[in-house]
Amino acid sequence: MKGKATSFDIAYRAGVSQSTVSRALRNSPLVSEKTREKIQQIAKELNYTVDKNASSLRSQTSTTLALLLFEDPTSDDSLVNPFFLSMLGSITRECGKLGYDLLVSFQELDADWHSVFKDSNKADGLILLGYGDYLDYEAKLRELVKHSTPFVRWGAATKSIDTCSIGCDNFHGGWQITEHLIKHGRKQFGFIGAVHDGAPEFRARYEGHCEALTRAGLEANAQLQKNAVNTEEDGFNATLQLLAENQPLDAIVVASDLIATGVLKALEQKGIKVPEQCAVVGFDDVPIARYTKPALTTCRQDSTAAGVMLVDKLVQLIKGEPVTDAFMKTKLIVRESCGTQQ
Amino acid sequence: MKGKATSFDIAYRAGVSQSTVSRALRNSPLVSEKTREKIQQIAKELNYTVDKNASSLRSQTSTTLALLLFEDPTSDDSLVNPFFLSMLGSITRECGKLGYDLLVSFQELDADWHSVFKDSNKADGLILLGYGDYLDYEAKLRELVKHSTPFVRWGAATKSIDTCSIGCDNFHGGWQITEHLIKHGRKQFGFIGAVHDGAPEFRARYEGHCEALTRAGLEANAQLQKNAVNTEEDGFNATLQLLAENQPLDAIVVASDLIATGVLKALEQKGIKVPEQCAVVGFDDVPIARYTKPALTTCRQDSTAAGVMLVDKLVQLIKGEPVTDAFMKTKLIVRESCGTQQ
């Protein structure tokens, strides 16, 4: 081995994380006696000496990340969007792997997140999942940027703020799932989901949807786009509005699976057969998507990979390493509701 | 006002929690300037003086609770049982309300939970959700009891260990849902779900099921009980085993909704109509239960109330107040799969 041994060398030999080594060498109770002895033995063999300066710097951090969930006031029995709940497992696991604790709380819109978490040394950085109206939320992001609080967020890229955003390529997803329907002969499209400034992700899906129509020589009819927030109820009501336009329809592209469950319900109530008379496709691939009848064709956002990436990028930010936005490709999941399954 | 003013008197007048008052009076950055000024003004008006002793005692605690989730190795894309995920929102909200932070991590079976969380002052107490095999988990509980670590758990009461258990009345639930089917003419019952010592909650549901049969003069046939752990796949396979017994069946009582999705799938594959030829009922009322076709009749465990109760009981324990086990009544949710809906 060249040069002075570092805690990473010990970690490598002991098959543990660097933070475990660091804990073991300061006799932290978080490390079992057996592991501590093993690490101390390796440290001795390598003539390792603690860099006091680096060690004291490190101890000023909390080795804790805070996950701030959006508490959805429109949702009746679940307070958290199921798509975000599905990320919790992989975020928790990745934090454990990297030696970070995970604090979970709701995004209190009237709180100063920087002071509550970073200034008070509760957390080294923040992970933000979900938001209500994007415009209110953007003001909170600006505050965090002003204080140089390390944070990452799940969502569409922000043009106006310098944040680390991780999301899926919503435009591509909207394009991809619409193109699939066009290829299989659907021509008369409705779109359900809010497309205003407060919902940039739904809007990107809509823009991708329109792009696919344009490329195929079809026209996006603005009258057949109906706003809905992310609830089954809104999907149900928006579908009734859409049908009230009394225009021919053979496909409905929906901005989320949760909204799509309401769309399916409304079509069933009106006696419109899915997919025979009208195809329906969703977005997200939440657990319920495979249980609806017909099972929902959708655009999967890989929530496991997303959780890992959010934690990894945040830890890079905390360490002062450069990070970039990341947008994952969506995956088309063909089930029954699009009518193209063999 | 009689006697000396306390921080609770200030909290009451300011319309904030006692912990906010305590934070404001020690100039914590967690409290906004406006609130701090308001509280300090009220304290002045009431001639309030800090009880130094109580204050220093308080500062030895972390005002943090740790939620330890069971990482389900049998589940493919979700690492956490959806029933427990549905509790997360109300646990998070209740912690915020009581001024506690919430740390979330997985139950590492090889870790000493007491040292990791309590000894290291990471958390004042633990909330345990889920477990794999109860017998392995019981050993961990004994450790916590030995160290007098405050903890609460969701689950069946333990006869052999002095813990605070909060759960639903599984016996009653199993009885209730079976009785509903008997009343509506079903006579030939199968039961799917593991009933051994490693799964005391499923077993209690089975015992309630058998009790309902006995009271109605029917006999529980052990040959028609098939083990399954909490996955769709196990439900599917157990159903094929059950059908292979080649005995008449007009109802299957299933130990959880997740298992029931696999039961429905197997019956559909075998061309057996639900509910016409065979009723199917689940347990839990997880979000997917309303989306299956036919929609699943089930026994609801109120996950919102459960989350609140877990936090409240743990905080009582931490404060040294006496607590008792609590078992909530389940609620029968009649949907389509039992065939009794009007």
First vs last C-alpha separation in chain A = 59
Q: What is the Cα–Cα distance from A276 to A254, expressed in whole angstroms?
A: 17
pLDDT digits (tens, 9 = 90+) for B110-160: 889 998 898 888 999 999 998 888 888 888 999 999 999 999 999 887 777
Interface test with B, best of A26, A32, A71, A77 (most B CBs within 10 A): A77
Inter-chain contact A304–B102, Cβ cutoff 8 Å?
no
CATH topology of domain B170-301: Rossmann fold (3.40.50)
pLDDT digits (tens, 9 = 90+) for B243-289: 999 999 999 999 999 999 999 999 999 999 999 999 999 999 988 89
Residue B82 has pLDDT above 90, yes or no: no
Inter-chain contact A96–B108, Cβ cutoff 8 Å?
yes
Please name which of B135, B188, B138, B127 lies closest in space to residue B314, comparing C-alpha atoms: B127
| B33 or A75, higher pLDDT | B33
What 3-state class would DSSP assign to B332? strand
* CA–CA min distance A326, chain B (Å): 22
Strand pairing class (A151-154; A125-129): parallel
Inter-chain contact B287–A292, Cβ cutoff 8 Å?
no
Inter-chain contact B112–A32, Cβ cutoff 8 Å?
yes
Inter-chain contact B85–A90, Cβ cutoff 8 Å?
no
Q: What is the DSSP letter of B294?
A: S
Taking the Cβ of residue B89 and every Cβ of chain A, the question of whether any pair is shorter than 8 Å is answered with yes
B43 within 8 A of B20, measured Cβ to Cβ = no
pLDDT digits (tens, 9 = 90+) for B171-230: 999 999 999 999 999 999 999 999 988 888 999 999 999 999 999 999 999 999 999 998
A98 within 8 A of A60, measured Cβ to Cβ = no
A332 within 8 A of A176, measured Cβ to Cβ = yes
Taking the Cβ of residue A101 and every Cβ of chain B, the question of whether any pair is shorter than 8 Å is answered with yes
CATH topology of domain A64-168+302-329: Rossmann fold (3.40.50)
Residues 240-299 in A contacting B (C-alpha not used; CB under 8 Å): 261, 287-288, 291-293
Q: What is the Cα–Cα distance from B205 to B214, expressed in whole angstroms?
A: 14
Inter-chain contact B93–A78, Cβ cutoff 8 Å?
no
State residue A131's pLDDT score. 86
State residue B300's pLDDT score. 95
- Tokens for A84? 């975000």
Of B32, B64, B88, the CB nearest to A85: B88
* CA–CA min distance B100, chain A (Å): 10
Q: What is the Cα–Cα distance from A283 to A337, expressed in whole angstroms?
A: 13
DSSP-assigned beta bridge partners for residue A166 = A154, A326
Give the chain B residue nearest A96 (alpha carbons).
B105
The values of phi and psi at residue A107, to 5°, are -75, 100
B137-175: buried (b, 16+ CB within 10 Å) or exposed (e) per residue? bbebbeebeeeebbbbbbbbbbeeeebbbbbbbbbbbbb
CATH topology of domain B64-167+302-328: Rossmann fold (3.40.50)
- Tokens for A47? 């003539």
Strand pairing class (B298-300; B331-333): antiparallel
Of A69, A103, A116, the CB nearest to B103: A103
Domain boundaries of chain A, sorted by first residue: 7-59, 64-168+302-329, 170-300
State residue A53's pLDDT score. 38
Collect the ranges in chain A with pLDDT lower than 70: 1-4, 27-30, 49-60, 73-78, 342
Q: What is the Cα–Cα distance from A26 to B112, expressed in whole angstroms?
A: 18
Which range, B44-48, B73-77, B149-153, is most confident?
B149-153
Same fold, B7-59 and B64-167+302-328: no
Q: What is the Cα–Cα distance from A37 to A142, expressed in whole angstroms?
A: 47
Per the document, the length of chain B is 342
State residue A58's pLDDT score. 44
Confidence category of residue B4, pLDDT binned at 50, 70, 90: low
Confidence category of residue B306, pLDDT binned at 50, 70, 90: very high
Q: What angle do CA A25, A26, A30 make, to 5 degrees?
A: 95
Q: What is the Cα–Cα distance from A86 to A68, expressed in whole angstroms?
A: 15
Inter-chain contact B115–A85, Cβ cutoff 8 Å?
no
State residue A78's pLDDT score. 64
What is the percent of chain B with per-residue pLDDT over 90, rounded to a whole number? 61
The dihedral sign for the CA sequence B256, B113, A80, A279: negative
Taking the Cβ of residue A157 and every Cβ of chain B, the question of whether any pair is shorter than 8 Å is answered with no
Q: What is the Cα–Cα distance from A65 to A55, expressed in whole angstroms?
A: 20
State residue B131's pLDDT score. 86
Strands laid side by side in the A189-192 sheet: A225-226, A189-192, A251-254, A279-281
From 3.40.50.300, 3.90.25.10, 1.20.1260.10, 1.10.260.40, which CATH number describes the B7-59 domain?
A: 1.10.260.40
A320, burial (CB in 10 Å: exposed 0-12, middle 13-18, buried 19+): exposed
Chain B neighbors of A83, CB-CB under 8 A: none
Inter-chain contact A80–B71, Cβ cutoff 8 Å?
no
A266 within 8 A of A50, measured Cβ to Cβ = no
What 3-state class would DSSP assign to A120? coil
CATH topology of domain A170-300: Rossmann fold (3.40.50)
A293, burial (CB in 10 Å: exposed 0-12, middle 13-18, buried 19+): middle
Chain A neighbors of B119, CB-CB under 8 A: 29
Torsion of CA A71, A74, A77, A80, to 10 degrees: -30
Inter-chain contact B77–A304, Cβ cutoff 8 Å?
yes
The type of residue at A281 is: V
- Tokens for B93? 């909200």
- Tokens for A295? 């099972």
The answer, yes or no, to whether ipTM is higher than 0.85 is no
Please name which of B218, B219, B233, B278 lies closest in space to residue B253, comparing C-alpha atoms: B278
| Distance (Å) of CA B249 to CA B175, B189, B208, B238, B239 | 18, 6, 19, 14, 11
